[in-house]
């Protein structure tokens, strides 16, 4: 099969398996590119520049195995969104474009004891209360009192533990977050004054873009023994929180792209796209970036932890019930935009790698030491938010992911329209009426942002998830139907 990028050049794809395609090494590519997709999803990429970005990433020094793309792939900054690349720790590079501007944009899934049929008439009231308690939209602030710089730096060091210590959530929540909600390498002193300033007022805010809080109901269960172990049952009310590190993370990425663009000549690095700015992992610039990125990642975990606490308060207020009756409990929290130092088997040997996941989710298998004890025999939960109008998914990781994708899988639906195109298609649509037709009560700050993020702007997440299930990379556990959403 052949695809084209926006310049019109043909990119030849070789089919390796039913849902796996390869771009052979050519030019300066150090490894082949590999894309997980059905034939339909690949065909949809022909007008997108993301295949060229897969090839560009393959030029990075020290890249191991393949430049990978998940089925939700679409064009991004430097790396495609849905891109995964593992670099040798000693000889490879780290690239902010392989993490993205929204450092540790991620998702958490919360379960309740509520049955949808028993509270469905109160969904509008719950949504309204959520919207009043959780600030959303561009520049949203004010969820908690403004931090002092000193307290902000403690937050950046301690991650979600800081939130728990300040009364947001419970200590057991930390057991159900990737990395326990904290990267130890964080160094707040490496963040610019501007990044710190942007972070002072935004803890506990959703922000804008594709971020949202979704109330869902468990619509279908595929693996009953896993669902039971996670405490899920049919028609159960659950909550998805999708947001990241807000302005602080954005500014941190911006700052280090400038640093690395200036430093590349010093290290003799030449690449086909300046957006792939990078430096050796072991360089001063590379180590500084990883420590600053870790601080921003910790901020994102705090942000989601505070939002979760505010969401519990909203449910209790709207329903006038006790915490015991609500049964609000974290299932898991995963990162979508992060670079991690991990050990993986490569050509039969264990190697220390820096795994970039940009719009991709970790998918560790049963028995892995970094899967929480409670889920060790099941595999790591994987959370895949949809488009607010169709469905979202809970998956678990597999051994095949470790062998083929450095323990990675998809992260969401993936765009098929630019924001401008989606706004154009949304003209004349009554957004509230359209969401209601889909059975979703929606509250949002601005019509323009909602118009950019309507379901028509995204691939069908069911096909994305099915692709990775068929490939054996991640396995479907449950499908969740949205019934209420708030966003910027």
Q: Is 411 a catalytic residue?
A: yes
Q: How confident is the model at residue 2 (pLDDT cuts 50, 70, 90)?
A: low
Q: What is the pLDDT of residues 403-440, one digit of tens each?
A: 999 999 999 998 888 889 999 999 989 998 999 999 99
Q: How far apart are CA 275 and CA 81, in angstroms?
A: 13
Residue 6 predicted with pLDDT over 50? no
Residue 134 predicted with pLDDT over 60? yes
The distance of Cα 428 from the centroid of its chain, to the nearest Å, equals: 31
Q: Mean pLDDT, to the nearest integer, of 300-327?
A: 98
Q: Which of 210, 153, 220 is nearest to 187 (CA)?
A: 153
Q: Could you say which DSSP state residue 177 is in?
A: B
Residue 206 predicted with pLDDT over 90? yes
Q: Would you state the pLDDT for residue 3?
A: 52
User: Is 4 or 239 the better-scoring residue by pLDDT?
Assistant: 239
Share of the chain above pLDDT 90, in %: 87
Residue 300 predicted with pLDDT over 80? yes
* Given 59, 211, 344, 411, the catalytic residue: 411
Q: Mean pLDDT, to the nearest integer, of 147-172?
A: 97
Average pLDDT, the chain: 95
User: Do residues 32 and 24 lie in contact, with contact meaning Cβ atoms separated by under 8 Å?
Assistant: yes
Which range, of 53-62, 360-369, 426-435, averages the lowest pLDDT? 426-435
Share of the chain above pLDDT 70, in %: 98
Give every CB contact of residue 23 below 8 A, 6+ residues apart in sequence.
11, 12, 13, 14, 29, 32, 33, 34, 35, 51, 54, 55, 58
Domains and CATH numbers, the chain: 2-101+341-362 (no CATH), 106-340+368-487 (3.90.1860.10)
State the DSSP string of 270-294: --S-GGG--EETTSHHHHHHHHHHH
Q: How confident is the model at residue 377 (pLDDT cuts 50, 70, 90)?
A: very high
Q: How far apart are CA 343 and CA 355, in angstroms?
A: 9
Q: How far apart are CA 375 and CA 363, in angstroms?
A: 13
Residue 5 predicted with pLDDT over 70? no
The distance of Cα 289 from the centroid of its chain, to the nearest Å, equals: 19
Give every CB contact of residue 245 below 8 A, 6+ residues apart in sequence.
102, 103, 104, 105, 199, 252, 296, 297, 299, 300, 303
Q: What is the pLDDT of residues 319-348, one digit of tens each?
A: 999 999 999 999 999 999 999 999 999 999
Q: Would you state the pLDDT for residue 45?
A: 86
pTM here is 0.96
3-class SS of residue 337? strand
Q: What is the pLDDT of residues 283-293, one digit of tens each?
A: 999 999 999 99
Q: Would you state the pLDDT for residue 10?
A: 80
Q: Which of 257, 218, 240, 230 is nearest to 99 (CA)?
A: 257
Q: Which of 197, 244, 202 is nearest to 101 (CA)?
A: 244
């Amino acid at each position: 099969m052949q695809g084209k990028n926006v310049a019109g050049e043909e990119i030849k794809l070789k089919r390796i398996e039913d849902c796996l395609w390869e771009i052979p090494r050519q030019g300066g590519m150090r490894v082949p590119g590999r894309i997980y997709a059905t034939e339909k999803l690949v065909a949809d990429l022909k007008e997108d520049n993301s295949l060229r970005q897969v090839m560009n990433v393959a030029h990075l020094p020290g890249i191991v195995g393949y430049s990978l793309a998940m089925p939700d792939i679409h064009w991004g900054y430097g790396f495609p969104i849905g891109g995964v690349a593992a670099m040798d720790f000693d000889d490879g590079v780290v690239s902010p474009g392989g993490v993205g501007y929204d450092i540790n944009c991620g998702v958490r899934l919360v379960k309740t004891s509520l049955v949808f049929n028993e509270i469905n008439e109160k969904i509008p009231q719950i949504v309204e209360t959520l919207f009043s308690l959780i600030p959303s939209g561009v520049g949203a602030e004010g969820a908690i009192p403004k931090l002092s710089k000193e307290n902000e730096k403690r937050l950046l060091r301690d991650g979600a533990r800081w939130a728990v210590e300040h009364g947001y959530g419970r200590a057991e929540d930390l057991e159900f977050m990737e990395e326990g909600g904290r990267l130890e390498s964080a160094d707040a002193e490496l963040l610019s004054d501007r990044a710190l300033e942007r972070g002072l007022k935004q803890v506990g805010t959703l922000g804008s873009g594709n971020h949202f809080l979704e109330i869902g109901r468990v619509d279908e269960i595929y693996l009953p023994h896993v669902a039971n172990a996670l405490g899920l049952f049919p028609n159960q009310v659950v909550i998805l929180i999708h947001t990241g590190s807000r302005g602080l993370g954005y500014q941190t990425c911006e700052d280090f792209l400038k640093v690395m663009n200036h430093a590349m000549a010093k290290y003799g690095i030449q690449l086909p796209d300046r957006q792939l700015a990078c430096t050796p992992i072991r360089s001063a610039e590379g180590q500084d970036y990883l420590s600053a990125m870790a601080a921003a990642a910790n901020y994102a975990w705090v942000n989601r932890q505070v939002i979760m606490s505010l969401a519990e308060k909203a449910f209790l207020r709207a329903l006038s019930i006790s915490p015991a009756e609500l049964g609000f409990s974290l299932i898991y929290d995963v990162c979508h935009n992060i670079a991690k130092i991990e050990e993986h088997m490569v050509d039969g040997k264990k190697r220390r790698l820096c795994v970039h996941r940009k719009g991709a989710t970790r998918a560790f298998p049963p028995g892995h030491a970094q899967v929480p004890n409670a889920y060790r025999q099941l595999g790591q939960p994987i959370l895949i938010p949809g488009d607010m109008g169709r469905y979202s998914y809970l998956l678990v990781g597999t051994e095949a992911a470790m062998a083929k994708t450095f323990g990675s899988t998809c992260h969401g639906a993936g765009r098929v329209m630019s924001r401008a195109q989606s706004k154009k298609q949304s003209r004349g649509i009554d957004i509230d009426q359209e969401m209601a037709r889909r059975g979703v009560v929606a509250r949002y700050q601005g019509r323009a942002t909602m118009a950019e993020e309507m379901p028509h702007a995204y691939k069908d997440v069911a096909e994305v998830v099915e692709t990775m299930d068929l490939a054996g990379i991640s396995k479907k556990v449950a499908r969740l139907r949205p019934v209420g959403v708030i966003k910027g």
